[in-house]
Structures are given as C-alpha cells and as structure tokens.
Amino acid sequence: MLRGMVHAGNWLVLGIFLSLLMVIFIGMSRAFLRMLQTPPLEEAQAAPAGERFHLSHAVSLYVLAVSIPIAVFQPEFLFGPLRTILEQFGYFL
C-alpha cells in the first residue's frame, strides 16, 4: 500500500495515512495492553487463573495462522484471481 502511494506520488495521502495509523496503533495498544497485562482487580483475584482450550480458540488460532502461509507462499489459486482483478483496474503484476 505504501509502495502504491509512493509510486503514485501521493505524498500528502502518505503523510496523513502514516500519521493517523500511528495514532490508532498507540490508541489500540494502550487499551489492549491495559486489559492484557495489568494486575487483576481485587474482586477478580480470587477467581481461578488459567482457562481450558476451547473450540473457539482453535478456530481463532486457525483463522489467524492461515494468513501467514497465504502471505509467505502467495498460492496461485488465490493470486491468480487477484492478478485478474488488478488487470481490470489497469495494473499488471
């Protein structure tokens, strides 16, 4: 995406894009880190720590893990249609 903006010479768009993403990234991290890493509230201290692995965890793990081989190996069955779509919009990979 950044490469597309640089190629098109959209420096203003690139600047706005990166600045806003930085603000959003910090905002999201602030909320998530607070939920993940801070010590539990007093009333929750008594609650048992740990959690059993559930089917929904497996599904979530799968949908996240599947994105890695797609990005690394760029399978033809997916990138073939993507290439055709890009050609319809005047870009040849």
Partner 1 sequence: MFSILLILTVLPLLALGFTAWNRSLKASHLITLTAAAGHLAATFYALIGRPAPLPGDPWFALDPLGVFFLLIVSHTFMAVVLCSPGFLARMGDPRYQASRRLYYPALNLYLLANTLVIVTQHFGLLWVVLELTTFGLAPLIYFYRSKESLEAAWKYLFLVSLGLVFLLIGILFLGLAAKSAPGHPNLLVSELLRHAAQLNPLWIKASFVFALVGVSAKIGLAPMHPADIDATSNAPAPVAALMSGSLRSTAMLVLLRFYQIVYQTEVRPFAQHLLMAVGAFSLLVAAVYIWRSRNYKRLLAYSSVEHLGVITLAVGVGGVALLGGLLHTLFNSLGKVALFTMAGRVHHTYQSRQIESVRGLMRRMPWSGFLSGWPSSTLSARRRSGCSLANC
Interface contacts to partner 1, rule CB under 8 A = 1-5, 7-8, 10, 13, 16-17, 20-21, 23-25, 27-29, 31-32, 34-41, 44, 47, 49-51, 53-57, 59-64, 66-67, 70-72, 74, 77-82, 84-86, 88-91, 93
Cβ 17 to partner 1 shortest distance, Å: 6
CA 60/CA 62 separation, integer angstroms: 5
Cβ 30 to partner 1 shortest distance, Å: 8
Contact 52, 46 (CB under 8 A): no
Cβ 11 to partner 1 shortest distance, Å: 12
Residue 38 dihedral angles phi and psi, to the nearest 5°: -75, 155
